[in-house]
Amino acid sequence: MASSLQAQKLKSLARQAGFELAGIAAAEPLADNQRYDHWVRRGMAGRMSYLTDHRAALRMDPKHLLPSARSVLCVGKVYNGPQPYSTSRTPHELGWISRYAWGDDYHRIVRLGLEKVAEQMDGVEHRICVDTAPLLERSFARMAGLGWIGRNTCLINQNLGSWLFLGEMLLSAELDPDTPAPDRCGTCRRCIDACPTGALVPGPHGWQLDARLCISYFTIELHGPIDEQHRARMGWHVFGCDICQDVCPWNRRAALTAEPAFSPRFESPPLEQLAAVTEKEFREMFRGSAVERARYRGFLRNVAVAMGNSGLPCFRAPLQRLAQSNDDVIAEHARWALGQLQ
């Protein structure tokens, strides 16, 4: 089927599989490789070694993942819901979980959709990639015409916004590539000015995300203690952060998902309830959710910080319990939070 696998037919199959966006890019090294290399060399990946070890070199050419690759099918799936953004809510006794983690883990959902496409292809070698593979997926999505990479470093589509999960399928078939989307951020810098920790910084190739200053990095990727100088600016975030997307003008009328798996199981749960969960309850509560990535220790650490930032005396008792934890990281952050309440 390789010779008859036309780009338009493939994109149509992707839309039938539930993807709102689909485009084709050539499976070649990208100009963005230089941008990524500079980002790594400046240490902006923090402790995320999977971005800087031998897998960093694999990202330089998709043929490292599939030697026969000639084209890349790039897809986008909307996960936004009708719920208010974090910037329009008053936290009170609640904790914020990033919008992308409210439903089922997107890795499985996006992969299943791409597998449906692959089932209808014959005679074409392929490899499915969903986030975890060493591939510059936003850059390939941009080349495939799905959107541009905004100053918040997210892929933004003019009609749908930026609440998008991305996926790719490397293909041995040579298909006509789509035209990259133009950058439409203009002079806007709302995401830059709204970031509480100043994580969006200028670089020689445009704005970059310094993970070492990012709330999402602190609450998800960093498994040890959070530096005290950053804790007070983390607000009520217990898993991830949506601020740079919440304030983006292109998300004012962002599309809403039709995917049942992304229906919220939790949005902004009460902090006192979260502080009381056991490790077994944590696994049960967030099974099949991206929140599992924070791990139990990291999650309670984040809850303690959010309680301290609330300034509410009602959290004194749960924080005192956490301060007695056998885990040094949880106990130390709880003690810090008690100091914030005082």
Q: How far is CA 52 from CA 36, 56, 130, in A?
A: 10, 5, 18
Nearest to 99 by CA among 110, 112, 83: 83
Q: Pick the catalytic residue from 32, 104, 122, 131.
A: 131
Question: What angle separates helix 106-118 from helix 7-16, to the nearest 10 degrees?
Answer: 130
DSSP 27: S
Secondary structure (3-state) at 114:
helix
Residue carrying structure tokens 């007070």: 232
131 is catalytic: yes
DSSP H or E stretch at residue 73: strand 71-78
- For the chain, the straight-line distance linking the first and the last C-alpha, in angstroms and rounded, comes to 69
User: Any alpha helices (H) in 149-286, and if so which ranges?
Assistant: 190-194, 215-216, 228-231, 243-246, 271-275, 279-285
Pairing mode of beta strands 126-129, 96-97: unpaired
CA 38 – CA 110 distance, rounded (Å): 30
Q: What positions carry a catalytic annotation? A: 131
